[in-house]
Structure 1
Amino acid sequence: MKNLLLIAALTLAISACQTAEKKAADSSTSPSAYTVPEDSAITKAVHDAYAAISFKKGEKPRLDEIGNYFIPQAQLINFRTDTADVSTLPQFINLYKQFVSSAHIDEFYEEEAFGKTEQFGRVAHRISTYNTYLNTRDSIAERGVNSFQLIKTPKGWKVSSIIWDVEKKSLPVPDYYLKK
């Protein structure tokens, strides 16, 4: 009888442990259970980066402010063509300045249409569908998807790299990267 009670108690204890472990595993892998600890600060850092390259009619691009939202070693990689075009931050700023001048851009506005953040400690990623407006806010000139990588510095969240691709007929932005 003692052995039967001991076996029943052990079985109950093992079952309870397995149930607790299963619940912990289920909640840690469930996407709906995850909350980004600093989502609003990371989202703000991304929106600030968009705002830094945007300017209204009658204004000039604030080229000297762009670097405030990036780490100095930041890389910007675009797939506008079939190959990756990799730029340092100073190169990107220079290319942007040339683009605005040569294309006669007197208004440039870029905004996030959809975004989703992932974070672990001082490392974050934000997938960000963007709309670009050139010389008017009446129609979207370009749309694509940015992949922002950010790090938390003593001065807050800064962009360490952006990788992006532009929407094309052969590459439409998928529904899961658009507002629902």
Structure 2
Amino acid sequence: MKKSIPFLLLLSVSFITIAQDNKEDYEVADKKYKSKVATLDSTVKTLYEVISGPKGQQRNDELLRYLFHPEAKFIASGKRKNGNYGARYVTMDDYVDKSLKWMLENGFFENELHRVTERFGQIAHVFSTYECFNGKNDTEPFMRGINSMQLMYTGKRWVVMNIYFTQESEENPIPEKYLPKN
């Protein structure tokens, strides 16, 4: 037991150092991006803007990370080859490494079509219908679906806790109540 105490102490000091580094990074980002997370609307709008851009345009992963809680996940849900539905959990690091790379190589614009928001105190749930294009001038989306976003108001700003999403399919079309009213 006594041998494990120095290890635990070292581990604690490491976490404190990491937390201090992250706090400094966060404070710098807070000065740059605070207005982008001041309201629920500005936070959702910024989320769509930060992932969208033409082929060859680097995305602002610092802003993307700032929008999210450090433990947030992207959760993709869909039908598997065996016919069952499943979910794939993606960390922010994986999203930045893989998805942002794909967006850079292919171009990606995700537009919000419609939103339904529920709020209770500091928590909000946003059901956001989206459509995706490779180019800004494309007329037909290559994908549509719904982002289920959970957000928290910290008393100073909104932070995205998770995004759970699924794509539209022939057998799972987006219901009319989640589409824009004509």
Measure the CA separation in 2 of the matches of 1:128 and 1:75.
Answer: 17
Tell me, in whole angstroms, the C-alpha distance in 2 between the residues paired with 1:112 and 1:147.
Answer: 12
Equivalent position of 2:152 in the other structure: 151
- 8 A contact 1:43–1:117 mirrored in 2: no
**Number of the residue aligned with 1:68:** 66
Bigger mean CA offset, 128-137 vs 56-65: 56-65
**Structure 1 contact 47–111 (Cα < 8 Å) conserved:** no
Q: 1:99 aligns with which of 98, 102, 110?
A: 102
Q: What residue number does 2:49 align with?
A: 51
Residues 93-172 of structure 1 mapped to structure 2, 5 A cutoff: 93-100=96-103, 104-105=105-106, 107-138=107-138, 139-172=140-173
Q: Output the aligned Cα RMSD.
A: 1.9
Q: Determine helix, strand or coil for the equivalent of 2:159.
A: strand
Q: For residue 11 of structure 2, what is the aligned residue in structure 1?
A: none
TM-score (norm 2): 0.69
Q: In the TM superposition, what is the alpha-carbon distance from 1:177 to its structure 2 partner? A: 0.4
C-alpha distance in 2 between matches for 1:155 and 1:99 = 33
Match of 2:62, SS state, is: helix
Q: 1:127 to 1:155 in 2, by over 3 A?
A: same
Distance in 1, matches of 2:56 and 2:96, equals: 20
Displacement of 1:66 after TM fit?
Answer: 1.0
Unaligned runs of 5+ in 1: 1-39
Residues 70/141 of structure 1: CA separation in 2 closer, same or farther (3 Å cut): same
The residue identity in structure 2 corresponding to 1:168 is S
Structure 1 residue runs of 4 or more that deviate by more than 4 Å after TM superposition: none
Query: What TM-score do the two structures reach when normalised by structure 1?
Result: 0.70
Cα distance between partner residues in 2 of 1:87 and 1:78 = 8
The aligned amino acid for 1:75 is K
CA distance in 2, matches of 1:137, 1:150: 31
- Any idea what SS the aligned residue of 1:45 has? helix
Deviations 1:34-80 (A, max 9, x none): xxxxxx92122111111111113552222232112111111110114
Offset at residue 136 of structure 1 (A)? 4.3
Give the counterpart letter for 1:76 in structure 2. Answer: F
1:84 aligns to what SS in structure 2? strand
Q: Output the amino acid matched with 1:113.
A: L
Q: Considering only CA atoms, is the larger Rg found in Structure 1 or Structure 2?
A: 1
Look up the equivalent residue of 2:92 and give its one-letter code. Answer: L
Offset of residue 99 of structure 1: 2.3
